[in-house]
Amino acid sequence: MTIDFTPQIAARQSEWIARRRDLHQHPELGFQEVRTAGIVAETLNRLGLEVQTGVGKTGVIGVLEGSGDGPTVLVRADMDALPITEENVVDYASKTPGVMHACGHDAHTTIALAVAELLSAQRDAIAGRVKFVFQPAEEIGRGAKAMIDDGALENPAPDVAVGLHLWNEGPLGTLAITEGPFMAGAGDFSIRVTGRGGHGAAPHETRDPIVAASAIVTALQTIVTRSLPPVESAVISVTSFQAGTAFNIIPSHAELRGTIRMFRPEVRDTLVRRMREIAESVAGAFGCTAELEVHELTLPVVNDPAITQRLRALFERTHPELRVVTGYQTMLAEDMSYFLDAVPGLYFFVGSSNAERNLAYPHHHPRFDFDEAVIPLAVELLATAVASFVMPGYTIDQQNDTVSQEANA
């Protein structure tokens, strides 16, 4: 018996691209993905999966039960869009003012639904089950935790988790697959500096929080270079500085806001400790006080080494034409990290840009778009990865990219 995804992919890819374009035209922000979730639920119900809606507010879960016992593989896709006004001039541009799919989540949803279609047609060959998790609110870092809090990792509990992200930093035909830390953990912070306000013409009578906060901004930049070992990677970025409302008044308060990024929890602890020490001591030197608040947005995305090696070898065997980048890391963050913190698995990037077609703008850019040829490729990669866990006795035929039953398996 041979299971070949190629004919189905060739026959269905135009429909998948049309679905992606429909989703692109109707983007929805985090926890507002009502239309998208409805399309997902309707499709999964039609395929005969056991469907849960309203998980983590607008998330959807579909469980594909196989014909025998085996592992549970979680496939995760995010659904939300961004508060960006699209500048692309295409017939599938966003119809929602100020909202755009500028990170590829329309494609991620499409790809996961396509994999559900392919695997549901092979239900009798599946030993175990596949749990499709369509997640809201990735862009605000809250959707994964909301779904997990609602029981997304229960009944059934997954044994393996896999997911992918389109990657416009890499051209079509490129994969980024990294063992261990892959994407950074992220936090946001605020520092409220309190002084004593007064007239701008009499600064000696004040305790100027603007001067104190300015010194704090500069001092924070020494943490990465002087408080961490040179081999560690981290980021502290102050992205907002707010103080005062009038040209002739020194305010009583100033507020700094920003983000921190790191790959290890121990580094986060060091960053927060030194930020607090610096903020308080520098503010004190100017006769002010400072209060630091830090909120965790995501954990680092850490790929399981054994699963990463297994799937990288699989992809290299089935797609020798692809360029596989190993050891790649980014300070971008992803709340897929919460699934991978609980379940061993792999999150990888699929190159999606095409400079010759002017499809190379970065993620979160108002002209972001990608080469749609990545959709059938990503579907095949993800379907093959899942099949390698839940179709025992099946191997991948390198010659025709089919899943073939081994003799006497």
* Separation of alpha carbons 6 and 318, rounded Å: 12
Cis? peptide before 156, omega within 30° of 0: yes
Contact 258, 234 (CB under 8 A): no
**Of 389, 387, 390, residue with least CA distance to 403:** 387
- Going by the DSSP 8-state scheme, the letter that residue 200 receives in this structure is T
Using a 10 angstrom Cβ sphere, with 0-12 exposed, 13-18 middle and 19 or more buried, the burial of residue 231 is: exposed
- Is residue 175 a contact partner of residue 325, using CB atoms and an 8 Å limit? yes
Q: Identify the DSSP state of 155.
A: S
382 touches 112 (CB < 8 A): yes
Q: Which amino acid is at 36?
A: T
Task: For residue 318, count CB atoms less than 10 angstroms from its CB and return exposed for 0-12, middle for 13-18, buried for 19 or more.
Answer: buried
**Which residues are CB-contacts of 221 (< 8 A; sequence separation ≥ 6)?**
236
Question: Catalytic residue among 28, 33, 80, 86, which?
Answer: 80
CA 268 – CA 298 distance, rounded (Å) = 12
The one catalytic residue in 138, 139, 159, 372 is: 138
- The sheet that has 394-397: what strands, in order across it? 2-3, 402-405, 394-397
Characterize 155-177 residue by residue with b for buried, 16 or more Cβ atoms within 10 angstroms of its Cβ, and e for exposed: eeebbbbbbbbbbbbbbbbbbbb
379/197 Cα distance (integer angstroms): 60
Q: Which helix (H) or strand (E) is 22 found in, with range?
A: helix 6-25
Question: Does the annotation count 397 as an active-site position?
Answer: no
In whole angstroms, what is the distance from residue 174 CA to residue 227 CA?
A: 36
Q: How far apart are CA 157 and CA 143, in angstroms?
A: 18
The amino acid present at 85, given as its one-letter code, is: T
Phi and psi, residue 230, nearest 5°: -60, -25
Q: For residue 385, what is the enclosing H or E element? A: helix 374-390
Contact 376, 16 (CB under 8 A): yes
The reply to whether 50 belongs to the active site is: no
Query: Annotated active-site positions, please?
Result: 80, 138
